[in-house]
Amino acid sequence: MLLAFCQWVEASVVGQFISGSTWAFPTIESIHVFFLVIVVGTVAIVDLRLLGVASRNRSVSRLSNDVLPVTWGAFVMALITGGLLFTSRATHYLANWEFCAKMVMLLLAGANMLLFHFLTYRDVERWDNDAITPVAARVAGALSLLFWIAVVVLGRWIGFTVQ
Amino acid sequence: MLAEIGKFSDWLSMTPISMTFQTVAWIIPAVQSVHILAIAIVMSSVIMVDLRLLGLMGHSQSISGLTRRFIPWVWWSLVVLLISGLILITAEPRRDLLNGVFQAKMALLIVAIVLTAVFQEMVRRNMEFWDLSPGRRRAAVATAIASLVVWSAIVGCGRWIAYVEHG
């Protein structure tokens, strides 16, 4: 079913246009990289705060409220541009293990964020201003950094390995 | 000039270190990954300061506070970018040095570095500089827009290097 979907996407007007054009793929890819680095960098700002490495004199909730709207906006744009890139060679990406691993890492990053938000962050008032955050928050920060670094590395590897 | 750069590129690509980078398949993607992660730190740090200058974010914090917190990350990341960038040039000299997009990227990088250094120095000398008058607040907006445009163009050029014909 996944394969059928990929075949359909690849044969669609959008897929055909992007794979047939000389400028469309690099242009969309540049925009994708632009938003991706903003996602990863702003996520890292919050992660490093949770780990007690940076912005220690700034409350966690205030920092999150400043940074995360930028993260979400950039994430939506990265998702749209990434989806467009995918349409150009959908079946090839599906068959590429680096691509599949990147998607798994994205899901793990998302699951980690949800767990943090709905469990650890619920009582943020109790440790909002602490330089040293609870263990669960530090673990969430470390995992988040790890998953996002993996997303970037795997993403770069796709460019070298996709057939 | 171009002929000399071409000659230098050919010499560099024949050195043992360049040959190693060319033949060990994982080196280029690994170094590119490090390069992109360092760019992520630069872009997000710059955006934090620029959004504050534009009045879109972090009103609870002073411009000088944000500058002192984030701009040092830009300089340290630039060191990483320089080292990883030099490795990438050594691996494929002609692809970069004889590439118009790469040359444009380096010119833009100089603009970005000067812009960031001048901005940082102004904040250091006078912490309230940007809040003093409406004229300076307008200058803050102009600085932020220039910074965002130049850094975005650098990222765009970086990706386009791979797609243009080079000498």
For chain B, 167 residues long, the average pLDDT of each consecutive 10-residue run is 93 96 96 98 96 86 90 97 98 95 98 96 82 81 95 97 88
Give the closest of A41, A66, A69 to B40, CB-based: A41
**Spatial distance between the Cα atoms of A76 and A35, rounded to a whole number of angstroms:** 9
Model confidence pLDDT, tens digit, residues B24-60: 999 999 999 999 999 999 999 999 999 999 988 877 7
- Domain with A113, as residue range(s), is 2-161
Interface test with B, best of A45, A81, A98 (most B CBs within 10 A): A45
DSSP A1: -
Considering its fold, how many domains does chain B have in total? 1
CB A37 within 8 A of CB B39: yes
Angle formed by the axes of helices B27-53 and A135-161, nearest 10°: 120
Give me the phi and psi of B163, to 5 degrees please.
Answer: -110, -10
Considering its fold, how many domains does chain A have in total? 1
Q: With respect to residue B14, please indicate whether it lies within any of the assigned structural domains.
A: no
- Domain with B153, as residue range(s), is 26-163
> Cβ separation of A38 and B32 shorter than 8 Å?
no
Model confidence pLDDT, tens digit, residues A139-158: 999 999 999 999 999 999 99
CB A88 within 8 A of CB A18: yes
Tokens representing A60? Answer: 């966690």
> Cβ separation of A159 and B36 shorter than 8 Å?
no
Q: Where are the beta strands (DSSP E) in chain A?
A: none
User: Chain A within 8 Å of B37 (Cβ-Cβ)?
Assistant: yes
